[in-house]
Chain A
Amino acid sequence: TWRRVYWAVLVYLACVILAAYWFTRAYR
């Protein structure tokens, strides 16, 4: 049952990194 939770956390991490990358590019 935990497999989906783990994948959700990893997808969340990918989204956070993409958002941080966009933020860096936008305000460079």
Chain B
Amino acid sequence: MRFVQAYFGLPIAMVVICATVVPVFYRARVYTAYEYLENRFDAKTRSLASVIFLCQRGLSAGLTIYAPAIVLSVILGWPERATTMLMGMVVVTYTVIGGIKAVTWSDVQQMVVIVLGLLVALVTVIVMLPHAVSFGDAVYLAGAAGRLNAVTTNFNWNDRFNIWSGLIGSTFLFLSYFGCDQSQVQRYLTGRSLAESRIGLLCNAVAKIPMQFFILFIGAMVFVFYVFVEPPVLFQHTELQRIAQVSEYSGVETRYHEAFERRRDAALSLAEAHRAGDKAAHAHGLAEYRGAQQSLDAARTDAARLVEANGGEPGFSDTNYIFLSFVTRYLPAGLVGLVIAVIMAATMSASAGEINSLATVSVVDIYRRHFRRGASDHHYLLASRWATVFWGVYAVAFAGWGKKLGSLIVAVNVVGSLFYGSLLGCFVVAFAFKRVGGTAVFLGMLAGELAIFSVFLHGGISYLWFNVIGCVVVVGVSLALTWAAPGVFAKARVDERV
């Protein structure tokens, strides 16, 4: 539930973007964010921004391909390496032959089916709870297990989600995402009017936090469901099958089963004590419930270590499989198929669109400008197809690494944070410091990326802060260079229009 704090910065970012960025882009009469950078600075700054965009989007495309690969792995029982390769080949093939539209539903239809699936999941959880456990009891039991900590006020650089990283770090993340990422900027630059663009952004700001809260709350309810219905030791079925043959596994399974039964009995007595207001029984039940939860977590950790020790990948985690396993096993049969079809359609069309845009930017912004000017249209079409294949391979290669960053939604944000900070710094300089020239901001962006990757590899600071660090370094280095050597780095002529 703490992940909801990562969205606290969204409304702040949207207000700043509506008040400052959107009018500047409209006034500058540009159709892409990077076109604006070329007008404001120079071609090399635009090219560097394009390269940063390509690196970030290429990694994101890997995660987008990984999502349907997990679905296939759950349905078919195949190893996820095989399903990731299969999804990558399918996506690249139909992108190369130009069939993106074949798998595209409208966003509204997709959203309706997914929200319907989530609502049915919540109803299923509530209906399948034991008769002695009410919905109020279920919420209480989720809270007692620490699953409803929506807000944490302790400041810690290495803690991913607290109110400070949410209000400061995520404001910078969303400023970058909605202010500098072409996939988002194009949405409001092609709006019918400035007012319509602003309304769209502000509606997003208002709706996102309650929606995310609702999704995370369903996750907490699924946790309570599994307090009363014994879940598998690991939710990734293929890995569980593999370690089931190992001699140490039977001991882990026995401890897991005993811990589950202790937790279930403790939960029932805790809910009863909570309803009756019996303080002594409540304190005893709470200690027993939390102790059993720790034993259960320890057994699951031991099972994960067995996976790693028996040919599995280091850092094994089945986080991405928990909700999907619940959906495929307990939702009504017809709805499961519909929800999975929509997830596949949404993720496949998204990854096809991403790989297509990567190929386009590679050819238009990099290849045609710096490697091969003035060739025929047929030549650039062929180059675009080869670029599509390259980015497909790049995405599949990264998909396996991305899952180590955490759950899919967190991994997408981590990957974005590795690159967005320096892009944001570049745009802040462009908007706020008119005397700074292209070379200063170019060097600033390189310094910003160096700082972000140093922090990422060193550890100790969580990813939301990368956006702040990158932005501050770019602005600081650009201003310092301009101040130290204005003859070299300052703009000779300031154009107030950009």
Contact = CB atoms under 8 A, between A and B. Distances in A.
B140 interface: yes
Interface band, chain A? 10 to 19
Interface in B333-381: none
B86 to A, nearest CB: 41
Contacts of A9: 11, 14-15, 202, 205-206
Interface in A1-28: 2, 5-6, 9-10, 12-13, 16-17, 20-21, 23-24, 26-28
Contact of B151 (A10, A12, A13, A24): A24
B18 interface: yes
Interface string B171-193: 00000000000000000000000
Contact of A10 (B12, B148, B210, B213): B12
B143 A28 contact: yes
A28 B149 contact: yes
Contacts of B163: 17
Q: Helix, strand, loop or mixed for chain A's interface?
A: helix
A1 B430 CA distance: 26
Given A9-B202, A27-B143, A20 B150 contact: yes
A22 to B, nearest CB: 9
Contacts of A20: 4, 150-151, 213
A23 B149 CA distance: 8
Contacts of B46: none
Contacts of B14: 9
A15 to B, nearest CB: 11
B209 interface: yes
B181 to A, nearest CB: 21
B139 A6 contact: no
B206 A27 contact: no
Nearest to B4: A20
A17 B15 contact: no
Given A21-B151, A23-B150, A12 B206 contact: yes
B409 interface: no
B19 interface: yes
Contacts of B18: 2, 6
Contacts of B12: 10, 13
Contacts of B144: 27
B148 A23 contact: yes
Given A9-B14, A9-B206, 10 more contacts: A2-B198, A6-B19, A10-B11, A12-B11, A20-B4, A20-B150, A21-B153, A24-B150, A24-B151, A28-B149
Interface of B: 4, 8, 11-12, 14-15, 18-19, 139-140, 142-144, 148-153, 163, 198, 202, 205-206, 209-210, 213
